[in-house]
Structure 1
């Protein structure tokens, strides 16, 4: 299985292959923003791998170097022409029967999470609203697509992510508050697995608090755990013209199963969420940080002058 990744190092963009080992230097090749995406469109995974290893300028970097920042897979940093979205309620455990081979596809609930620049990687904090009701982690498969100049989406590979969100707000009113519940930062691994979407994905979530394990439990999120067929979900998603804009990179989260909430555990400010994807030998870890309240708690300062209510200057009598 081939793995591709990109990073920034001392102001320059680089690419590499495989997963760097702790304590060992890893060779990176200089690339331009968009070079690997263009290679995918021109010749698929093999062309992208060639582009990632052909740059004449190289550096040897050890994981943990303070000058190194790994990037979400294929992220267009110059244009931010990227979208984070996903499906909800996709796991078999949430249905009362197993899918039949010829069962008609019914699209699961969908959400838009935000721009690609909102994504975070391992060891970066995940910022939430200032006063969440009940946060949960959500380990998920993330499919990565790159659109060609004609808008045709091309599957590039997959990675794994944590769709941190406020399930307490969602449950308060699922029809009205779910989009707000999703307004937490989201993390993904930088490793792009150049293969078909995975059948079997298993691992463990560990919540660390004050340096100790506060909660842990297993998870699964591969095709064998999801009720819907991946190809049906993708076909439905990209039937919408808005998602077929030229050059767009799409990160699609495929849903999660039960989480800490279902065990009665609350994720709190300062907790470290560790998603150990043991089936693939990778780990995604981030610390949760509550955001800050606005100074006034009012939307007044955010209104442009033209939309502020007019004030009558006629004296009352």
Structure 2
């Protein structure tokens, strides 16, 4: 049995939470305005997230098609104080994920084995340790805080100084830190990590700059385990027509690291175990339109879908003016 949670905004502006079961029907979860509140209640009562949902499930059904059409589906997680939500991720974690990165960096490396390929090979050799052991650490990056989260149907902002804004279809894990400082995984969601690949291609040391962008999260939070083999489709749509599309693979069967190993190397830092904080951690991808010569432009639409998620993640690209970066002495 699969359980997926969504956050919604009613026609009167009030927020709520709903659960989607195997029958595909969305039912309201009584008494909670957010996934965060629901998760905190589960922790307080010593119950699982699924049990807490079951105990508060209403008969009221929600119309998913109408919620999508009216753009009232929210991101599956947020925090009342956006500064307490971290967006982070790991790269070079998927079988085949090093190919595009290696092409970008090989020229600068003079044709030698690039650091990207070395990192990927390290993951192949040590990213899936035996149970109870720690594997090799992956590449890690910071994307932003809760103010950088975009829900499905919203525009993905790309700053005017960006050289590129392209999709990265993947899965993200969503976590809440409990009162004792332990990370608790709430579940998984579909995600578009969204990066500036031209900036990264210019110099791999600019990877950190290329990742400081918004990211889109699919509406559904999958509670429980992620299937080992997840197969989806990523598209770029321009003027109502498909410009590019390609299947993508994720899940541990298609990864060079276990999810547990990625989690360990993120949460081993005390900074990331502060009670009450939320973490959205992107697990990586191997499929990029940029690697196949696609140059996105304002108005393009990114569309990502993959079972077991029933709702597609769809966002348009919007170029936005950046605030002046001038600094004045106080």
- TM-score category, normalised to shorter length: 0.7 to 0.9
State the Cα distance separating 1:117 from its structure 2 match: 3.1
Matches within 5 A, 1:74-89: 74-77=77-80, 80-89=83-92
Counterparts of 2:294 and 2:71, CA distance in 1: 35
The structure whose residues are more often helix, as a share, is 2
Counterparts of 1:207 and 1:187, CA distance in 2: 15
Structure 2 gaps, min length 5: 99-119
Q: TM-score, normalised by structure 1?
A: 0.83
Q: Aligned in 2, Cα 1:293/1:150: closer, same or farther, shift over 3 Å?
A: closer
Q: Specify the SS of the correspondent of 1:137.
A: coil
Size of the aligned set, in residue pairs, is: 297
Give 2:18's aligned residue. Answer: 16
Counterparts of 1:293 and 1:90, CA distance in 2: 32
Q: Aligned in 2, Cα 1:265/1:36: closer, same or farther, shift over 3 Å?
A: same
Counterparts of 1:271 and 1:79, CA distance in 2: 28
Counterparts of 1:139 and 1:6, CA distance in 2: 21
Give 2:199's aligned residue. Answer: 169
Matches within 5 A, 1:239-250: 239-250=268-279
State the Cα distance separating 1:115 from its structure 2 match: 1.1
Q: Specify the SS of the correspondent of 1:274.
A: strand
Matches within 5 A, 1:143-158: 143-158=173-188
Q: Say if 2:190 is the partner of 1:160.
A: yes
Counterparts of 1:25 and 1:36, CA distance in 2: 16
Counterparts of 2:277 and 2:141, CA distance in 1: 17
Q: Specify the SS of the correspondent of 1:43.
A: coil
Q: Aligned in 2, Cα 1:26/1:154: closer, same or farther, shift over 3 Å?
A: closer
Counterparts of 1:84 and 1:273, CA distance in 2: 20
Matches within 5 A, 1:216-235: 216-235=245-264
Counterparts of 2:50 and 2:137, CA distance in 1: 33
State the Cα distance separating 1:235 from its structure 2 match: 1.3
State the Cα distance separating 1:112 from its structure 2 match: 1.2
State the Cα distance separating 1:69 from its structure 2 match: 2.6
State the Cα distance separating 1:240 from its structure 2 match: 0.2
Q: Say if 2:82 is the partner of 1:53.
A: no
- Taking only aligned residues, the RMSD between alpha carbons, in angstroms, comes to 2.8
Give 1:284's aligned residue. Answer: 313
Q: Say if 2:198 is the partner of 1:198.
A: no
Q: Specify the SS of the correspondent of 1:31.
A: coil
Give 2:304's aligned residue. Answer: 275
| Partner of residue 164 from structure 2, selected from 127, 134, 143 | 134
| Partner of residue 37 from structure 1, selected from 22, 32, 39 | 39
Q: Aligned in 2, Cα 1:30/1:220: closer, same or farther, shift over 3 Å?
A: same
Q: Aligned in 2, Cα 1:248/1:136: closer, same or farther, shift over 3 Å?
A: same
Q: Say if 2:218 is the partner of 1:189.
A: yes
Q: Specify the SS of the correspondent of 2:38.
A: helix
Q: Aligned in 2, Cα 1:203/1:46: closer, same or farther, shift over 3 Å?
A: closer
Q: Say if 2:141 is the partner of 1:111.
A: yes
Asked whether the 8 Å contact 2:88–2:281 carries over to 1, the reply is yes
Q: Aligned in 2, Cα 1:156/1:278: closer, same or farther, shift over 3 Å?
A: closer
Q: TM-score, normalised by structure 2?
A: 0.80
